[in-house]
A and B are shown apart, each in its own frame.
Chain A
Amino acid sequence: MRVLAAMSGGVDSAVAAARAADAGNEVTGVHLALSANPRSYRSGARGCCTLEDARDARRAADVIGIPFYVWDMAERFDRDVVADFVAEYERGRTPNPCLRCNEKIKFAAVLDRAVALGFDAVCTGHHARLDRGRLRRSVDSAKDQSYVLAVLNRDQLDRALFPLGGSTKDEVRAEAASRGLAVADKPDSHDVCFIPDGDTRAFLAGRLGSAPGSIVAEDGTRLGTHGGTYGFTIGQRKGLRVGAPANDGRPRYVLDIEPVSRTVTVGPVSASLSSGRQVKA
């Protein structure tokens, strides 16, 4: 099979590409340039897809012995993932951009391009398994990423390869080391790849501006003001900045976000617990 291996410069995608090659596939590595600011150097564990990451991916491809290219998807990424992320927050919701990226970029834009260029499948380093065409969780439940792949349809899954699902993260790192991949020790990227400093609130403030509103108690009592509902998510405890403590002295949690009136309702933990939560894909 001709396989396009998406290589982020991280250890997972590097080992995944190596395994795909070992399995006898004709593998080509591709680093997706998604960042609007690739010149920023990666420091610490946050963020992704800087020039340094491209270099790490290239070096991994060298070691594995596969061709390597960089594909510029920054414009589409900004349109399909970043803009969607901002819009969702504006609507008072908390999005997961990784879902959108897999749905629109990795297994759409990239997959479509790959198929047109003669590839049979796209391989990634996601911790997930495909079991007779069905998406399954990784054996490593702490690192499982099947939830961000759940948006993929049948056609997309049929052309996907997830070589890491049967391994734990530790096993993957050990394998990277034994394969001589320098990224074996590279820290994982957490948080949102396009917010390298991890400050989502500041990022959104930059995009959405100041949109002040009220923070209220369940009974409607006004408790304070906020700079934008995008700074909150349901169940959030930290960063509420209400000023005065609750009457019962217990911590407050975000119960509701109403974006039109820009009202954030907070209350005790008992009011925040529920038996279910609707997750929209």
Chain B
Amino acid sequence: MCGLQLGLVGVMGKSEIVREGPGQGQDCRVYLDHAATTPMLGEAIAAMTAELAHLGNPSSLHNAGRRARRVVEESREQIAEAYGARPSEVVFTGGGTEADNLAVKGLYWARRAERPQRRRVLATQIEHHAVLDSVQWLASHEAADVTWLPVDGTALLRPDSLRAAVDADPDAVAMITVMWANNEVGTIQPIAELASVARERGIPFHTDAVQAAGQVPVNFAASGADALAITGHKIGGPVGVGALLLGRGIEPVPVMHGGGQERDVRSGTLDAPAIAAFAVAAQIAVKRQEEEGARLAGLRDELIARVLAAVPDAILNGAPPGLGRLPGNAHFSFPGCEGDALLMLLDAKGIACSTGSACTAGVAQPSHVLLAMGAGEARARGSLRFSLGSTSTRADVEAVGEVIAEAVERARRANKS
């Protein structure tokens, strides 16, 4: 869709990648939807391409298999180091959604198998659908008793809210899941405090860190979480690979049965090329995180200023810009507009952003995150998310500033018809 041009110079070994930034792509000149997916880093493409040329199933015992296995294990070590985990705690999956499904379902089933009374699942109202729908499925098919933890007007969950919810019947809790940072409005949760509430009561705590992992420091050991989901394509790696970091002693019931890979937790042939690319991307993301975070926050704050100047009654949703919010995230509600009309108008001008809500039957629904924040349906429908990333520049921010006023005016007119 977004035609970022990538010129590959040298396939094997040399990672000399010439990447043209936005402004030269044909289909979207301004890409502000990094929260949906990120451009793959040249170094990650090189690593993946190099490995694609090799033959070998990492589970095979012969030379070819062992070579592939080595690539996987080195990648595992690199990812473990990047996120403060032990290599044995890294379980490769087919992406973030799969990691979340494994954590939510697998931990629920394991805990309930130990003690049948453990049927409670605690999850926030603002989880990504990979967690939300998994939890809902457990409720409708596996007799789970779900407590949807409410958040405040900035999408923040307070530890005492969690404590109160748990303590209503702590022995019946199978697991707790709270996302590290919200993908729509960017609010970052106090994960360490929340995890310690779970830890005190011996309850496994899972966190979906898919959105947080590329943008803010994520350290598995320090967090106190028992399970943590990450994915490749949000950090400049490929789509189709992710990982569940799983604390030792936590054995979820597998979702994927088969050849027994990943200690029987997740069967399936390991995708060595994708894993190699994932590891390279993770290392770079973590190395650049501090500097890049500051750069993005600056650009993002300028975007906010320009949007509010052009549309004074626009509302910034989520935590105030600062340590409590993802540096690249800006999410607005534009009163009197439908988000999908705005999206269409901006798309026509070459600006890619998102309404941030899931698509049901191809049609956008009002964001459950905004609704959980108490926004009301009209505001939830009239929202737009801009998310900056590695290729974002000042020009992108300026482009939005130039068109947003007219787009909002047109969308308001369209809403009245």
Listed in ascending order, the chain A residues whose CB lies under 8 Å from chain B are 28, 31, 33, 38-39, 51, 54, 67, 69-72, 74, 109, 112-113, 115-118
Contacts and interface: CB of A to CB of B under 8 A. Distances in A.
Given A69-B340, A117-B345, A54 B414 contact: no
A54 B362 CA distance: 8
B200 to A, nearest CB: 44
Contacts of B315: none
A117 B414 contact: yes
Q: Name, among A31, A39, A74, A113, the residue most crowded by chain B CB atoms within 10 Å (CB to CB).
A: A113
A31 B340 CA distance: 14
B361 A38 contact: yes
A179 B415 CA distance: 36
A33 B416 contact: no
A156 to B, nearest CB: 13
A67 B352 CA distance: 13
B413 interface: yes
Contacts of A33: 361-363
A70 B417 contact: no
A115 B341 CA distance: 12
23 contacts: A33-B361, A33-B362, A33-B363, A38-B362, A51-B361, A67-B348, A69-B340, A70-B361, A70-B363, A72-B363, A74-B363, A112-B414, A113-B341, A113-B414, A113-B417, A115-B417, A116-B413, A116-B415, A116-B416, A116-B417, A117-B344, A118-B345, A118-B410
A118 B413 CA distance: 10
Nearest to A69: B344
Contacts of B414: 112-113, 116-117
A31 B362 CA distance: 10
A33 B364 CA distance: 11
Chain B residues touching A, majority SS: helix
B415 to A, nearest CB: 8
Interface in B232-270: none
A51 B364 CA distance: 14
B410 A70 contact: no
B347 interface: yes
A70 B343 CA distance: 12
Instruction: Please tell me the size bucket of the interface on B.
Output: 10 to 19
Q: Name, among B348, B361, B415, the residue most crowded by chain A CB atoms within 10 Å (CB to CB).
A: B361
Given A117-B344, A117-B345, A117-B410, A109 B417 contact: yes
What are the 10 A-B residue pairs with the smallest beta carbon separation, nearest first? A112-B417, A116-B414, A116-B413, A72-B363, A70-B362, A38-B361, A113-B414, A33-B363, A54-B362, A117-B414
Contacts of A74: 363
A185 B226 CA distance: 54
Interface string B376-417: 000000000000000000000000000000000011011111
A54 B411 CA distance: 24
Q: Name, among B341, B347, B414, B417, the residue most crowded by chain A CB atoms within 10 Å (CB to CB).
A: B417
A71 B362 CA distance: 9
Contacts of A115: 417
Contact of B341 (A38, A51, A67, A117): A117
Nearest to B342: A117
Given A69-B340, A70-B363, 12 more contacts: A28-B348, A39-B361, A51-B361, A69-B344, A71-B340, A71-B363, A72-B363, A109-B417, A112-B417, A113-B417, A115-B417, A116-B415
B273 to A, nearest CB: 28
Nearest to A51: B361
Nearest to A33: B363
Interface in B10-56: none
Given A51-B362, A69-B340, A70-B362, A116 B348 contact: no
Contacts of A112: 414, 417
Q: Name, among A31, A54, A69, the residue most crowded by chain B CB atoms within 10 Å (CB to CB).
A: A69
A54 B410 contact: no
Contacts of A38: 361-362
A155 to B, nearest CB: 13
Interface string B318-360: 0000000000000000000000110011011000000000000
B237 to A, nearest CB: 27
A85 B361 CA distance: 25
A115 B340 CA distance: 16
Q: Name, among A31, A71, A109, A116, the residue most crowded by chain B CB atoms within 10 Å (CB to CB).
A: A116
Q: Name, among B341, B362, B364, B413, the residue most crowded by chain A CB atoms within 10 Å (CB to CB).
A: B362
A123 B121 CA distance: 51
Contacts of A28: 344, 348
Interface string B139-151: 0000000000000
Nearest to A26: B348
Contacts of B347: 67
Nearest to A37: B361
A279 B234 CA distance: 60
